[in-house]
Amino acid sequence: MKDDSYYNTTRVRGQLLKIYEFAAQVQEEAVLEFFEANPRAKVSAEDIGKFVLPGTPRTSWGRCLTNLKKARKIIKTDETVEGAWKRPIYLWQLAPDPRDPVQGELLPIPVFLR
């Protein structure tokens, strides 16, 4: 596990910082596991809060998504939905595996399949 999942904006120290960091890492892993189990799913931060991290602060959802995006594990799509505050919010999905070529990237699509 890495040590930078938790954003220590309140300058907590010692054992409490270790607890917060561990909790942030567990949350991040849960979110990534959700995306990996649902590779075609497009979900909002609110969906993450509702289905993956119920009972956690909204800021935790955003932190998880931001960290996973920085790690290139997930991507923010161009699609939005209306959020709880009647404002558009983006949908997120698992990032494509760069080792898995998409049909047509390595070989042209045969004419009869176009």
pLDDT tens digits, 86-106? 999 999 999 998 777 665 556
What's the mean pLDDT in 29-56?
A: 96
91-101: string of b/e by CB count within 10 Å (b at 16+)?
bbbbeeeeeee
The mean predicted confidence, pLDDT, of the chain is: 86
Q: Which domains does the chain have, with CATH numbers?
A: 14-96 (1.10.10.10)
**Which tops the pLDDT comparison, 82 or 103?**
82
**Rounded-to-integer distance, Cα 28 and Cα 68, Å:** 7
H or E element that contains 93: strand 88-94
CA 8 remoteness from chain centre: 20
What's the mean pLDDT in 4-15?
A: 74
Structure tokens given for 18: 């270790």
> Model-level pTM?
0.77
List % helix, strand, coil for the chain (3-state, nearest 5). 40, 15, 40
Q: What is the pLDDT of residue 52?
A: 95
Give the list of residues 6+ apart from residue 49 with CB closer than 8 angstroms, or none. Answer: 56, 58, 61
**Rounded-to-integer distance, Cα 111 and Cα 43, Å:** 35
| pLDDT tens sequence across 44-56 | 999 999 999 999 9
Residue 1: pLDDT band with limits 50, 70, 90: very low
Q: Are 32 and 41 in contact (CB under 8 A)?
A: no
Q: What is the pLDDT of residue 95?
A: 96
pLDDT tops 50 at residue 2? yes
What's the mean pLDDT in 53-80?
A: 95
